[in-house]
Amino acid sequence: MAQVSHIAEEQASSPLSSSKSVTLKISRYNPEHDDVGKFMEFTVPYEKWTTVLEAILEVKKHFDHSVAVRYSCRQATCGSCGMMINGKPRLACFTKISELNSNVITVEPMNNFPVIRDLAVKFERLFDTHQKIKPYLIRDDTELETDEREFLQSPEEVEQYIQFANCIKCGLCNSACPTMATDSSFVGPQALAQAYRYVADSRDKGKDSRLKIIDESHGIWRCHFAGSCSQVCPKGVDPAMGIQFLRGYLLGFRS
């Protein structure tokens, strides 16, 4: 009982006091009820270290608890909190308000993802395209059948793909991609980068089957190296690099 009343007191407390405040414009849209989205503005105090996610949670706590937002780790590891922040796809937990240099912070759901409500979007297309490129090691043999050791890799072999294995499936790259803005059938930079991750892995023997999957009219050839995916990636995966390396196989630059 004492614990419950303590929590109730905490939730009833007033917002953080700070000399600085910013206007947070949050996109509100429920496809089940609304024809069009609208923005709601909230004045939120912030410190030098306050992230956009913290500001949104501050709004939820003290102003409007119905704001729908997806988040989890708060440390740019899970990829849940991707959204448009001042017109660019970013992770809310990884973006400090002070870095944005703006009195107004506009947050909207990520482009090119269907909206569930407010800032939460559906990830089915990303999961489908990711699955399409066979995101697992393809080999004839398997570790379980024999008494042999695990598949060995030298540090140099690991360096070839480890960068692309950092992908947290946040979807920011798909949101930034100019082809994804209009092409519903495009595989997307996330899936293509992951295709390269496996092709570059020395343990994998499925290069030909993956290249065949992406060699189609809405596959790798609809990437035009605009590089926006790499500009927004929060984990340094650099999907554009992986995609061009992958294309190098198809063009004969690599074998």
Partner 1 sequence: MRESTIMKIHYGTALAAVALVAVHILMRLTMNYTESLEYENVLANYKLIPYAVMLELILILLSVHGFNGLRVILLELKQGRLYEKAVSYGCLVAMFGLIAYGSRTIIMTNMGMV
Partner 2 sequence: MTQDENKEGIGGMINPRRYGIERVAYLLMRLSGLGLLAYFVAHIYETSNILRGQVGWDDFLALTQTTEGHIGMSIVIAMCVFHTVNGVRVMLGHGGVGVGKPARPDYPYDPASQNYRHKIGIYSAILLAAIAMMYGLAVMFGE
Provide the binding-site residues for partner 2, judged by CB under 8 A.
Answer: 31, 87-88, 109-115, 121, 159-164, 166, 176, 178-182, 184, 200, 224-228, 230-238, 240-242, 244-245, 247-248, 251, 253-254
d(CA 221, CA 229): 16
Output the smallest distance, CB 37 to partner 2, in A. Answer: 9
Output the smallest distance, CB 190 to partner 1, in A. Answer: 18
Output the smallest distance, CB 90 to partner 1, in A. Answer: 25
Kindly state whether residue 209 participates in binding partner 1, applying the rule CB under 8 A: no
Range 171-200, binding partner 1 (CB under 8 A) = 179, 182-186
| Residue number with CB closer to partner 1 (47 or 216) | 216
Output the smallest distance, CB 64 to partner 2, in A. Answer: 22
Output the smallest distance, CB 1 to partner 2, in A. Answer: 45
Output the smallest distance, CB 201 to partner 1, in A. Answer: 22
Kindly state whether residue 221 participates in binding partner 1, applying the rule CB under 8 A: yes
Query: What does 235 bind: partner 1, partner 2, none (CB cut-off 5 to 8 Å by kind)?
Result: partner 2
Kindly state whether residue 125 participates in binding partner 1, applying the rule CB under 8 A: no
Instruction: Count interface residues toward partner 1 (CB under 8 A).
Output: 15
Q: What are phi and psi of 44, to 5 degrees?
A: -125, 130
The DSSP secondary structure of the chain, one letter per residue, reads -HHHHHHHHHHHSPPPP-S-EEEEEEEE--TTT-SS-EEEEEEEE--TT-BHHHHHHHHHHHT-TT------SSSSSS---EEEETTEEEEGGG-BGGGG--SEEEEEPPTTS-EEETTEE--HHHHHHHHHT--S---SS-TTTSS--PPP--HHHHHTTHHHHT-----HHHHH-TTTTT-TT---HHHHHHHHHHHT-TT---HHHHHHHH-STTTGGG-----HHHHH-TT---HHHHHHHHHHHHHTS--
Query: What does 39 bind: partner 2, partner 1, none (CB cut-off 5 to 8 Å by kind)?
Result: none
| Residue number with CB closer to partner 2 (44 or 107) | 107
| Residue number with CB closer to partner 1 (36 or 251) | 251
Neighbours of 251 (CB within 10 A): 8
Say how many residues make up the chain.
255
Return residues touching partner 1 (CB under 8 A): 179, 182-186, 215-219, 221-222, 250-251
